[in-house]
Amino acid sequence: MEKLDSFIQQAVTAMPVSGTSLIASLYGDCLSQRGGEVWLGSVAALRERVEGCWHLTEQNAMYEAFITLFRPLLPLLRDVGPDELTPERCFQIRLLLIHLYRRVVLKDPLLPEELLPAHWLGQTARQLCINIYQRVAPGAQVFVSEKGESSVGELPAPGPLYYQRFGGLAEA
């Protein structure tokens, strides 16, 4: 027994480790560290604690309301012709879409997937937003370019970062 204790002491002295890192090595996915506090428990208990801190049920309901509002728009956008999907309408849709999506996503704590409820709607809402945004962005940009101006005249063309939004937009 003394030899084992000696080995453990020697190993800890040779390569110092904190108690927290030892616990993390042992308990990995069942560990949450918050403000120096180490908490051990089941993943279910951790999810319950996360729900209490971030009110994920309310956040998920906000995503559900966004999806309910905008999901019917996607088939409409696929079916309408260019005469109906005017640049002005594209701008109006994009403005509403981003305004209402930001109301939801800016309150999302952006937690790892492992800590989210089983039926988390954040990714579904994001994909819906991307699909709609990509459909209306070109027309909306035409409207902004035609109607908008800066204090020194015409608006400059969008920069490269604009075309990287929401998974990539086709350059005009």
| pLDDT single digits (tens) 90-146 | 999 999 999 999 999 999 988 888 788 889 999 999 999 999 999 999 998 898 888
Distance CA 157, CA 143 (A): 13
The pLDDT value given to residue 158: 77
What is the rounded distance in angstroms from the CA atom of residue 56 to the CA atom of residue 47? 10
Residue with tokens 């309150």: 107
Say which amino acid occupies 67. Answer: I
| pLDDT, tens digit, 9 for 90 and up, residues 34-73 | 444 445 566 677 777 788 788 899 999 999 999 999 999 9
The predicted structure's pLDDT at residue 75: 92
Alpha-carbon distances, residue 89 vs 24, 40, 116, 143, 170 (angstroms):
53, 53, 36, 9, 19
Q: Say how far apart CA 60 and CA 64 lie, in whole Å.
A: 6
